[in-house]
Structure 1
Amino acid sequence: MTLADRYPLLHTPTRWEWGGLDVLFATDPPPDELVTNIHAICFVGDEIVLCRDDRDVWLVPGGTRESGESIEDCLRRELREEAGATPVGPVRWLGAHYATTDHPAPYRDWQPHPHKAWLWCAADVVLDSAPSNPDDAENILEVRAFPIPEAIALSRTDGDYLAELLALAVELHRP
């Protein structure tokens, strides 16, 4: 049985209306120049870290890559900003949502357009500070590590596919 068979929601082509994006998940790593966003499924021991924002949505930390920023530097910055977390040990790349937007211009001037990719990874982390909540980012109200079944259930507040992404992270990062 393939990953697409086990995680059908994750692998179903879909539309993210908020960005005018048609997206498709694949486990093939995207070329560096396509990666505009990096998100991490974070593990603290046998639990998964989720962040609750001011919309009452539980999300995994991550966000938009800055101009000239490496993927690793973006990951570390986003973990600090949204979760107050630091990775410990290797980061495992899980896959990417490959996207094509119908917006007339890129979200940020330096980003590729109209094709781009959201990179997903899994990492063991320590929660060693409060989220920094920069002015131009989500407003994170709470960061907690949950038992895996609870994290998977709560993650659905940010989209049904996310529950499958967390399950994939558990399978690949913590076999």
Structure 2
Amino acid sequence: MREHLEDWAWAQTIVRFTGQRPPDQVVQSVRAIAVVDDGVVVCSLSDGTSFLPGGTREEGEPVDDCLSRELAEEAGFLIKGRPHWFAAHSGVSYHRIPYKPYAPFPLKAWLWGAVKGELIGPPTNPAGAEQVAAVQVLRPEDAVAVLESEGRGYAQALRYWMSLGAPVDL
């Protein structure tokens, strides 16, 4: 993997993509490659923005629990097995204050995992969270094409996961 620095202005953080897992205490958010049969889950907002499900940890929340919660909220996805944590976007924030009072700062990371499961219903779309308008299952190659222009590391993480042989723990 060729590592390079990126400025994620939306997060006010300089990040690098790495295959090394960061310590849990610097993980601010988790993102998932949610595997259903031979495809991966891609969520969309009403404005057409597409993304891989995941989100910010709650105070004191373990990363595995966060992934499970976020997948239910954003995709109506039920995890079967344990996540295979395979990469992270790790960085240093240049904002003046933490994203949330309990969030790691200035070091932070977005942890990437892959997990098998099934779609069991619509997204729960809790108040105050992103409101997912559509959930689809795409072949990984098609998901990369859809996510390529979205930024935020989605296509990068998906391509890397595919290069590892698309591992998922059962």
Same fold (TM over 0.5): yes
Instruction: Specify whether residues 135 and 69 from structure 1 end up closer, same or farther in structure 2 by C-alpha distance, changes over 3 A only.
Output: same
Deviations 1:5-52 (A, max 9, x none): xxxxxx321011112111011111111110110000111111111000
Instruction: Specify whether residues 160 and 82 from structure 1 end up closer, same or farther in structure 2 by C-alpha distance, changes over 3 A only.
Output: closer
Unaligned 5+ segments in structure 1 are 5-10
* SS state at 1:82 partner: helix
Contact 1:99 1:116 in 2 (8 A): yes
What is aligned with 1:129?
A: 121
Q: What is the Cα deviation at residue 149 of structure 1?
A: 1.9
Contact 1:89 1:123 in 2 (8 A): yes
* SS state at 1:90 partner: coil
* SS state at 1:89 partner: coil
Unaligned 5+ segments in structure 2 are none
What is aligned with 2:131?
A: 139
Q: What is the Cα deviation at residue 54 of structure 1?
A: 2.5
Q: Distance in 2 between matches of 1:62 and 1:109?
A: 20
What is aligned with 2:56?
A: 64
Instruction: Specify whether residues 174 and 102 from structure 1 end up closer, same or farther in structure 2 by C-alpha distance, changes over 3 A only.
Output: closer
Q: Distance in 2 between matches of 1:19 and 1:168?
A: 22
Matches within 5 A, 1:91-110: 91-110=83-102
Aligned length: 167
Q: What is the Cα deviation at residue 172 of structure 1?
A: 2.8
Instruction: Specify whether residues 168 and 132 from structure 1 end up closer, same or farther in structure 2 by C-alpha distance, changes over 3 A only.
Output: same
Runs of 4+ that moved beyond 4 A: none
Structure in which a larger fraction of residues adopt helix = 1
Q: Does 1:90 align with 2:82?
A: yes
Contact 1:122 1:173 in 2 (8 A): no
Q: Distance in 2 between matches of 1:56 and 1:156?
A: 14
What is aligned with 1:18?
A: 10
Q: Does 1:37 align with 2:24?
A: no
Q: What is the Cα deviation at residue 119 of structure 1?
A: 0.4
TM-align CA RMSD: 1.5
